[in-house]
Amino acid sequence: MINAASRLQPTQVPVPRHIFVTGGVVSSLGKGLTAASLGRLLRARGISVVMQKLDPYINVDPGTMNPFQHGEVFVTDDGSETDLDIGHYERFLDVNLSGKANATTGQVYSTVIAKERRGEYLGDTVQVIPHITDEIKRVMRAQAEPDDDGNLPDVIITEIGGTVGDIESQPFLEAARQVRADLGRDNVAFVHVSLIPFLPAAGELKTKPTQHSVASLRNIGIQPDALVLRTDRHLPEGIKGKVALMCDVDRDAVVECKDAASIYEVPPTLHREGLDAYLVQRLGLTFRDVDWTEWNSLLERVHAPKHRLEVALVGKYVDLHDAYLSVSEAIRHGGFANHARVDIRWVASDVCETPEGAQRALAGVDAIVVPGGFGVRGIEGKVGALRWAREHRVPTLGLCLGLQCMVIEAARNLLGLSAASSTEMEPETPDPVVATMDSQRQILHGDGNLGGTMRLGSYPAVLTEGSIVAETYGTNEVSERHRHRFEVNNDYRERLASVGLRVSGTSPDGRLTEFVELDRSQHPYYVATQAHPEFRSRPTRAHPLFAALVRAGLDRRREVYASHRRGEHVVPGDEPAECFTTASSDSGDTINYADACSDDADNE
């Protein structure tokens, strides 16, 4: 029997409205991008928005999950390991979120069980309803609390992971239904993202999967207020009308969202379809017209680039691009900042273990990014890729493990310490240039939990005056997000500096290496950070390290093309792979690479 006290009382309800985003038919329809785009639209109307993602899996957080299964782990400022959709939210809304933005079944059950052990339920039989659903509701409405300045958000947008009909999602959907009952129907809206497939054999678009998906929602007491129909082609008005009729949704609330060339096209697509206007009216929100100034400038850079270049991303998990989602987006942001389209060459680090393999995999690229990762596999390939980049003077940025591999490569090939390694891969190495952080030793020896125990979240760093990174940031004090257990061994700092690889940024107490770089006389841009700057990059405000990398890549491309035009010898592997051909951009326009590489090309 449900305890009446478990319901939120109307007099206790905070002001913020609540929008729930659900998905049906199949997974990977883009619920996260839909939620992020809707949040962007509402913010552009002057409405304050906070975002949230609820994941039905039993893991407490994605921190210990296989990247091939889950994709990247997105780290927030407060050190929470969250779902990659939190990254979409931060990038689209240009906000910094906290751990409250992501919750899982594992977290909910852990909290409820802990309360039961403390006797907080006073002997009640603990059940999914009301105890689990009450905890889910508490998590949902936690975002309604005032911020540090005492301001309440106008709207909370909560994305419920999974697909309607999944067993795992049922408690979350039931909790969302109860929130509507608690807050009142005028204060809650449901947006359902569904699929309208096209059957080539029949030559028809089919609405039945969406009808069944909505029927499943209605079976548990949720009537969607708006439908976002994912499709690979334009939907005729008759299809939209049929869906509206069969699903009992207002015709104005049936929205087409066709596949787009860029994810940054989704907000204007939803706006043209009227989704934001409908929901603003539906929830009775005060608003202004959408200010498109910033986003239109972004779309111009996305679809009408003045330059083009290719950046290699050398990683362990490249078979699943979502494992490096924030890295790949940050690289593209660097392109936007330089009016350039960046083509990413996905390179499996394993193939770069030998000089010949690295040459085949990396020849012709304009810049290289070596991102983070864990474990032994692929490490030697990252070291091989970095050696190739250093010797060929290709602009390079290392992230987290990329910094550690940069140190290992320099120790082996510049210092002559052939056995140099990290204690993560070689515990007995005679030259541990990278070693376990003191705070992590007991955990790695089995005396603690692996989940949530790394050096996580934002930490400050002090940059060396006159260094490349200080010049790039435009300041000597920065703060970046971290996720690591290992650090550069301070015993090797001076010896590494003697061969050109110097520590150019440390923790404020000087104990932890945060940045390294190769001297300008040896390389134009060979920089690495122990942090994850990709988490702070925005499409309208690229992270300085990525913007500088792309700028260095464009400079190199022009230099190589100029040498070729003068008839000078170009070292094999140095020439841009397609510098003398043409190709199509996202917008379908033709870009001439010779123009893109010329000395006269604009590079603002």
Q: What is the pLDDT of residues 156-212, one digit of tens each?
A: 999 999 999 999 999 999 999 999 999 999 999 999 999 999 999 999 999 999 999
Give the pLDDT confidence of 330-374 residue by residue, as tens digits: 999 999 999 999 999 999 999 999 999 999 999 999 999 999 988
pLDDT for 586: 39
Task: Name the residue among 284, 512, 513, 553 with its Cα closest to residue 397.
Answer: 553
Known binding-site residue numbers for UTP:
27, 206-211, 242
pLDDT of residue 447: 53
**Whole-structure pTM value:** 0.88
**Structure confidence at residue 569 as a pLDDT band (50, 70, 90):** low
Catalytic residues: 400, 532, 534
Q: What is the pLDDT of residue 182?
A: 95
Share of the chain above pLDDT 70, in %: 89
Name residues whose C-beta falls within 8 Å of residue 399's C-beta, 6 or more positions apart in sequence.
327, 369, 370, 371, 372, 528, 529, 531, 532, 533, 534
Binding-site residues from annotation: 27-33, 85, 159, 166-168, 206-211, 242, 258-260, 373, 401-404, 424, 485
In one-letter notation, the amino acid at residue 585 is: S
Q: What are the binding residues for L-glutamine?
A: 373, 401-404, 424, 485
Structure tokens at 150: 């005492």
What single letter denotes the amino acid at residue 256? E
Of 77 and 28, which is predicted with more confidence? Answer: 77
Where does 17-297 sit in CATH, by number? 3.40.50.300
In the predicted structure, residue 521 carries a pLDDT above the cut 60: yes
* 432-442 average pLDDT score: 67
The pLDDT, as a whole number, for residue 579 is 42
- pLDDT at residue 194, rounded to an integer: 97
The two counts, helices (H) then strands (E), for the chain are 20, 25
Binding-site residue numbers for CTP are: 27, 166-168, 206-211, 242
What are φ and ψ of residue 117, in 5° steps?
-65, -30
* 3-state secondary structure (DSSP) of residue 149: coil
* Residue recorded with tokens 């500096």: 497
Using CA atoms of 540, 285, 266, 253 in order, give the dihedral in degrees to the nearest 10: 180
**Single-letter code of the amino acid located at 482:** H
Whether 17-297 and 305-558 share one fold: the answer is yes
Domain ranges for the chain: 17-297, 305-558
Q: Could you tell me the pLDDT band of residue 597, with boundaries at 50, 70 and 90?
A: very low
Q: What is the pLDDT of residues 300-337, one digit of tens each?
A: 999 999 999 999 999 999 999 999 999 999 999 999 99
Q: Are 395 and 362 in contact (CB under 8 A)?
A: no
What does the alpha-carbon distance between residue 179 and residue 44 come to, in Å, rounded to a whole number?
26
Which CATH class name applies to 305-558? Answer: alpha beta
Residue 591 pLDDT > 50, yes or no? no
pLDDT at 9: 43
For strand 188-195 and strand 340-348, is the pairing parallel, antiparallel, or unpaired? unpaired
To the nearest 10°, report the CA torsion of 436, 83, 458, 311: 80
- pLDDT (tens digit, 9 = 90+) per residue, 370-383? 999 887 888 999 99
385 neighbors 363 (Cβ within 8 angstroms): no
Residue 49, phi then psi, degrees to nearest 5: -135, 140
* Structure-token pair, residue 446: 């089995």
Q: Which residue positions form the known binding site for ATP?
A: 28-33, 85, 258-260
